[in-house]
Amino acid sequence: MPTAMPFYRRPLARITTGALLAAAASVSLVPSQADAGERWLQARSMPVAANKVMVAVTVQHAKLPSRMVYVSNLQGKIIAQGVLTRGGKALVPVSVRPGTATQVYVTFRHTRARLTVPVSTTARYMATSSWRIINKVNGVNNAYTPRVLTQMAGVPIDKRAGAPLQRLLKDAARDGVKIYGSNGYRSWGWQRSLYQSYVNRDGRAAADTFSARPGYSEHQTGFAFDAKAADGRCSLESCFAGTKSGQWLAKHAAAYGFVVRYTPQNSKVTGYEPEPWHLRYVGTWLTGYLNETKLPSLEQAFKMPAAPSY
């Protein structure tokens, strides 16, 4: 029986301009794999800001030659590096010119395993990213809308977060915790009137600690979901953390790919008061990584600067 040559011993395919353009045109979030027989190495990328892409690497291998992961450009020059967690995950930030698409190689020291991963910050690719950072420094323009919305718990959210949220709500109900939605996707215009109403009531400085200016709300991405208890108690209030719903979400949301985005541990980074009801979908790869590393914010996981103010 012929044995497949291990990926790392294979000669590297020469990358032609045509192949590169084809790859850039068909960028997908499907993980790249070394090959079917070498599933121990996987990598994919997700843009997080206009000029930044995170390369997520997963290694499932009993004996790691090293914990270092390297990302190099098409010329083979190392441009970024990361360290694998015990669970075999690394997040490596790569700078990419805004609106462009290219590829990088992911490699390990001591082996010649090399994976090609598309990295892109084109509008189309940005629109598919559930890792896009929205904070007081990184916003979205007024035309941005989620590609496909779905209705869940009474509110519209990005379709990609729909099924995980449905599972979360179902499992919470099974545990006797009925959770409803109070906010999902919010348009730029809607955010503008909401923010303005808070400014009129409390003044701009106070409003900025709990409401986002238009273009700086995670709700505009469709990946944010505000939970509400069945009895409506502590709705959108800090005491929600002490309710059965708040406690259930703090404990279990990560298992479904959601993070509680604004916590007491990260308010200095985000510039927001804790919001135990505000969930942000990022997928279970990232929530697993956050649980392992204990990093308290998405900004820290992505090695982005704190954004406490505009």
Contacting range for Zn ion; rule: CB under 5 A; set: 22-30, 147-155, 219-227, 295-303: 219-227
DSSP assignment letter at 109? T
- Least Å from the CB of residue 165 to Zn ion: 14
Q: Is there binding between residue 280 and Zn ion (CB under 5 A)?
A: no
Q: Which of 157, 226, 266, 281 binds Zn ion (CB under 5 A)?
A: 226
- Interface with Zn ion by CB under 5 A: which range of 12-20, 111-119, 174-182, 276-284? 276-284
208 near Zn ion, judged by CB under 5 A? no
Is the Cβ of residue 89 or residue 278 nearer to Zn ion in the bound state?
278
Q: On the CB side of 227, how many CA atoms lie within 13 Å of its CA?
A: 33
Q: Which amino acid is at 281?
A: Y
* 89 touching Zn ion, by CB under 5 A: no
Sign of CA dihedral 27, 30, 33, 36: negative
Residue 33 three-state SS? strand
Please select the residue that binds Zn ion; options are 44, 160, 186, 278, rule is CB under 5 A.
278
158 vs 226, beta carbon nearer Zn ion:
226
Residue ranges with strand state E in the chain: 32-33, 41-49, 52-59, 68-72, 78-83, 89-95, 101-108, 114-120, 149-152, 155-158, 179-183, 224-229, 258-262, 275-281
- Region of 59-67, 221-229, 252-260, 295-303 interacting with Zn ion (CB under 5 A): 221-229
d(CA 130, CA 138): 14
**Considering the complex, what minimum distance in angstroms separates the CB of residue 195 from Zn ion?**
13
d(CA 257, CA 285): 8
In the complex, the residues that contact Zn ion under the rule CB under 5 A are: 226, 278
